[in-house]
Amino acid sequence: MAATLYPPARYRPVRNTSGLMVQPTRGLIPHVQVGKGSLFSWFDSSASQVSSHLWLSRNGDLEQYVRCDQRAWAQAAGNPYWISCECEGYPTEDYTPIQVTRLAELFRWGMQEFGWRAEITDSPDGHGIGTHRMGGTAWGGHECPGDIRANRRGDILSLATGRTALTADPRDRYAGRPTLREGMTGPDVAELQNALNIAFGHEAPTGDPNRLPPDGTYGPRTTARVASLQRYASQWFGRIPDDGVCGPTTWRKLGWILTGLNRTV
């Protein structure tokens, strides 16, 4: 019997699902989220009337909302036949390198578990890796995931089939993140604060006075914590200005630490 849960994903079942998939499933539809952050609450709301099997963050984290033998509400008439994965970001943005790797790993798993064909398709009656937009009106008339991401299917397939090695640098889990500095707000800041708490061993939600509240506001405490990380990082990357601004090099070092190469600062 084929697996119903993808092992690397955190399983967070939602209510927006009905009926069983037509077996064997045809393949994978990577969607573009057109936004940031976990979709669990939205997909668990009866008001939204949407869901997907999986969600992939820009830093490579995976959540599974619907079992692979059940229908997610992702592409209308295509729901009974295709496994869906919402991918954090926007149609005008490329995948991050780690997202490409994670999609390749997922597709390789699907080839093993479900017999997905190592193909790219632009037909709802096809097999392999498709797009939401290939279904036309019957699939909701969307342009998802946009040209940039649709054109990366060849790279995903090459990785999945071993024609290209799965060699994503763990430091790239935060590739493409914006430069953040004091005074800024938003979900990227909250993610930075959560990552800093893990890196410095302060992720416990209560009882730790040194924990940064992940409130999405880049204040003096966040600046000071980033500066501490930058001073620590200099021994691997040369001198990083400890200015408390989280730019590409600081993001990269943080990704290195969280991946486990240097687990705790």
- The pLDDT tens digits for 39-82 are 999 999 999 999 999 999 988 899 999 999 999 999 999 999 99
Q: What is the pLDDT of residue 262?
A: 42
**117 near 102, Cβ under 8 Å?**
no
Specify the length of the chain in residues: 265
> Smallest Cα–Cα separation from 101: which of 170, 48, 27?
170
C-alpha–C-alpha distance, residues 87 and 54, integer Å:
9
Q: What is the pLDDT of residue 261?
A: 42
Q: What is the pLDDT of residue 253?
A: 83
C-alpha–C-alpha distance, residues 86 and 35, integer Å:
10
Interacting residues of 202 by C-beta distance below 8 A, sequence separation 6+: 196, 208, 210, 211, 212
Q: What is the pLDDT of residue 168?
A: 53
> For residue range 247-256, what is the model confidence (pLDDT) as tens digits?
988 888 888 7
Q: What is the pLDDT of residue 265?
A: 46
Q: What is the pLDDT of residue 143?
A: 94
Neighbours of 18 (CB within 10 A): 12
Q: What is the pLDDT of residue 124?
A: 96
DSSP H stretches of helix in the chain:
40-43, 97-114, 147-150, 153-161, 187-199, 220-237, 248-259
Q: What is the pLDDT of residue 27?
A: 97
C-alpha–C-alpha distance, residues 98 and 256, integer Å:
13
C-alpha–C-alpha distance, residues 89 and 222, integer Å:
24
Interacting residues of 250 by C-beta distance below 8 A, sequence separation 6+: 226, 229, 230, 233, 240
Q: What is the pLDDT of residue 231?
A: 86
* pTM of the predicted structure, to 2 decimals: 0.67
What pLDDT tens digit does each residue of the chain (265 aa) get? 568 999 999 999 999 999 999 999 999 999 999 998 999 999 999 999 999 999 999 888 999 999 999 999 999 999 999 999 999 999 888 888 889 999 999 999 999 999 999 999 999 999 999 999 999 999 999 999 999 999 999 999 999 998 766 555 556 667 778 899 999 998 889 889 988 987 888 866 667 888 898 899 999 999 999 999 988 765 555 667 889 999 988 888 888 777 654 444 4
Positions of E strands within the chain: 10-11, 17-20, 27-32, 54-56, 62-64, 70-72, 82-87, 128-129
Q: Which domains does the chain have, with CATH numbers?
A: 10-161 (3.40.80.10), 170-259 (1.10.101.10)
